[in-house]
């Protein structure tokens, strides 16, 4: 964590802001909107429905989302487009960086989206600049840059609808191993330098690191290796950021009466993903879910960011969609789902690479047939009937498939 204790908070805030004025993050070209829509987590509309509204939200009705610290607009553009495709939903963007706001605005204009309003200012002043209430709030990679992240979370909580929820991203402490010692070394060695000179010297230092350096050894972190000054700056020249473990996130959220409904990707937060021995898997399964997530983080070691959804604890049990009745409808998260399903036929495993770790997950028998029947309209009951299986046999197989496909954040649920 950057030591800003001896700097007045306003000055430290100004330094954070000036970084994002000089290096809007992430770098984006509004012209690219004509060719593609960037989708991601949190705040994909299907994830919001699954993790916040139990799969029951009707987006053909009014819906109001806040993107707090929207940067160059990834979540704003994605959600505004997805809402516009379904109904009258609107997005409210807030950021302290004017340069970032202009890029986000140009991207929204390039798509002819008319459901976004832009506000320049701090999320700590939401009551003045963009008052709630909001059905949903996105705050991705922002709270960990505040002098007091809890105060930021409190400001968001104040404008959130009672039955709403949030999608957040906070840096992961273990996955960022090596980042903070390097930030510290660079800070000391570039004291008094600014702009391009500082960046160039920092880059030369990073190029010359010995093989024993933890950042160099960390396969999960690679932004400093890109030819991208904004990414390098965000990772190693940041004036203020901190990182969290799963238990720290849980404590921060429960302090404000929030329950975490899911981490993305779920499979990475499941100890069974990393364990071979049945006795160990069994012992892990006996623990509360949050403890399992914490153990998975400790074992994996490569969770460099934590993307997760929260809801007020009062409706924590109903917020997460569950495959617990024949009326629920499985759907692909992204448009390439059906093509992916066709490739599953005949496969017994799915292979994925996450931040330096290759995972190979076993699929149940008949996975391809079930996957090909998923079209976002057929319910679990319809799929069961199409396969001529009784509910218990079907459900046992579906649950195993769901663990993998939902675990990889490829499949979600909605209410029928
Ligand atoms: C790492 S960027 C993330 C941008 C965006 N959320 C994303 O995930 O692409 C952090 C953003 O938070 C903004 N920010 C930092 N402190 C803020 C504050 N107090 N209020 C609003 N925005 C803030 C910065 O200007 C920057 O655009």
In terms of pTM, does the model score above 0.75?
yes
State mean pLDDT over 55-71: 97
* Amino acid 4: pLDDT: 47
The reply to whether ligand 1 has any atom less than 6 angstroms from the CB of 78 is: no
- CA gap 201, 193 in Å, rounded: 9
Give the distance (Å) from ligand 1 centre to CA of residue 263: 21
Give me the pLDDT at residue 316, please. 76
**Position 319 confidence tier, pLDDT thresholds 50, 70, 90:** very high
Atom of ligand 1 nearest to the CA of 17: 25
DSSP code string of 265-328: SGGGG-GGGT---HHHHHHHHTS-HHHHHHHHHHHH----EEEEEEEEGGGHHHHS--S-STTE
Q: Would the CB of 103 count as within 6 Å of ligand 1?
A: no
| Strand pairing class (90-95; 64-68) | parallel
Is the CB of residue 307 less than 8 Å from the CB of residue 266?
A: no
What pLDDT sits at residue 10? 75
Q: What is the pLDDT of residues 291-316, one digit of tens each?
A: 999 999 999 999 999 999 999 999 87
Decide whether any atom of ligand 1 lies within 6 Å of the 25 Cβ.
yes
The residue whose C-alpha atom lies closest to atom 8 belonging to ligand 1 is 140
Residue 217, CB-side half-sphere exposure with 13 Å CA sphere = 8
Question: Does the beta carbon of 250 lie inside 6 Å of ligand 1?
Answer: no
351-374 pLDDT tens trace = 999 998 999 999 998 899 999 999
Report the distance separating Cα 342 and Cα 52, nearest Å. Answer: 30
95 lines ligand 1 (CB under 6 A): yes
Query: What is the Cα gyration radius of the chain?
Result: 22
Ligand 1 pocket: which of 28, 39, 96 to mutate (most atoms within 8 A of CB): 96
Q: Taking a C-beta distance cutoff of 8 angstroms, is the pair 66, 332 a contact?
A: no
Q: What confidence category does residue 1 fall into, taking pLDDT thresholds of 50, 70 and 90?
A: very low
Verify whether ligand 1 is closer than 6 Å to residue 54 (CB atom): no
- Find the 26 Cα to ligand 1 centroid distance in Å: 10
**Ligand 1 site, residue 239, Cβ cutoff 6 A:** no
Give, for ligand 1, the residue of 104, 120, 145, 242 to mutate: max count of ligand atoms closer than 8 Å to Cβ. Answer: 145
Ligand 1: centre distance to CA 163 (Å): 25
Encode burial over 24-46: b for 16+ CB neighbours within 10 A, e otherwise: bbbebebeebeeeeebebbbbbb
Closest Cα to atom 19 of ligand 1: 122
Residue to mutate, 43, 142, 228, 304, ligand 1, most ligand atoms under 8 Å from C-beta: 142
- Answer yes or no: is the C-beta of 13 below 6 A from any ligand 1 atom: no
Q: pLDDT class for 8, splitting at 50, 70, 90?
A: low
Cβ(145) – ligand 1 distance below 6 Å = yes
Q: Can you tell me the distance from the alpha carbon of 256 to that of 416, in angstroms, rounded to the nearest whole number?
A: 32
**Does the CB atom of residue 94 touch ligand 1 within 6 A?**
yes
Which CB contacts under 8 angstroms, 24+ apart, belong to 373-376? 374/330, 374/331, 374/332, 374/337, 374/341, 374/411, 375/331, 375/338, 376/329, 376/330, 376/331, 376/332, 376/414
Give 117-154 pLDDT, tens digit per residue. 999 999 999 999 999 999 999 999 999 999 999 999 99
136, containing H or E segment: strand 134-140
168-181 per-position pLDDT tens digit: 999 999 999 999 99
Average pLDDT value for residue range 217-239: 91
| Structure confidence at residue 2 (pLDDT) | 42
Evaluate: CB of 41 within 6 angstroms of ligand 1: no
Give 338 or 130, the one with higher predicted confidence: 130
- Number of the ligand 1 atom closest to the C-alpha atom of 97: 25
Q: Return the ligand 1 atom nearest residue 94 CA.
A: 21
């Amino acid at each position: 964590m950057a030591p800003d204790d001896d700097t007045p908070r306003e000055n430290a805030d100004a330094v954070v802001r000036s970084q994002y004025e000089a290096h809007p993050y992430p770098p984006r070209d509004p012209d690219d909107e004509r060719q593609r829509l960037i989708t991601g987590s949190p705040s994909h509309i299907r994830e919001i429905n699954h993790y916040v509204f139990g799969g029951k939200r009707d987006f053909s009705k009014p819906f109001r989302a806040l993107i707090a610290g929207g940067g160059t607009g990834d979540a704003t553009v994605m959600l505004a487009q997805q809402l516009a495709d379904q109904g009258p939903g609107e997005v409210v963007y807030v950021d302290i960086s004017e340069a970032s706001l202009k890029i986000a605005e140009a991207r929204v204009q390039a798509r002819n989206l008319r459901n976004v309003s832009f506000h320049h200012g701090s999320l700590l002043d939401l009551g003045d600049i963009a008052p709630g209430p909001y059905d949903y709030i996105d705050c991705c990679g922002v709270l960990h840059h505040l002098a007091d992240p809890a105060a930021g979370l409190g400001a968001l909580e104040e404008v959130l609808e009672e039955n709403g929820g949030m999608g957040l991203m906070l840096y992961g402490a273990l996955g960022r191993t090596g980042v903070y010692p390097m930030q510290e070394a660079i800070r000391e060695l570039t004291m008094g330098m600014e702009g391009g000179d500082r960046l160039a010297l920092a880059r030369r230092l990073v190029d010359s690191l010995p093989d024993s350096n933890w950042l160099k050894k960390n396969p999960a972190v690679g932004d400093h290796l890109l030819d991208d000054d904004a990414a390098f700056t965000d990772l190693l020249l940041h004036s203020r950021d901190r990182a969290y473990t799963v238990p720290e996130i849980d404590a921060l959220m429960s302090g404000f009466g929030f329950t975490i409904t899911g981490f993305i990707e779920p499979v990475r937060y499941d100890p069974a993903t990393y364990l071979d021995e049945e006795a160990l898997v069994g012992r892990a399964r006996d623990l509360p879910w949050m403890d399992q997530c914490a153990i998975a983080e400790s074992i994996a070691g490569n969770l460099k960011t934590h993307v997760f959804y929260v809801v007020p604890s009062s409706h924590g049990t109903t917020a997460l969609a569950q495959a617990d009745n024949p009326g629920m409808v499985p759907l692909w998260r992204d448009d390439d789902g059906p093509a992916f399903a066709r490739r599953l036929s005949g496969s017994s495993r799915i292979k994925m690479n996450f931040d330096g770790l290759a995972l190979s997950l076993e699929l149940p028998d008949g996975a391809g047939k079930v996957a090909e029947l998923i079209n976002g309209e057929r319910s679990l009951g319809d799929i069961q009937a199409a396969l001529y299986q009784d509910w218990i046999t079907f459900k046992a197989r579906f649950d195993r498939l769901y663990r993998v496909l939902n675990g990889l954040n490829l499949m979600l649920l909605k209410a029928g």
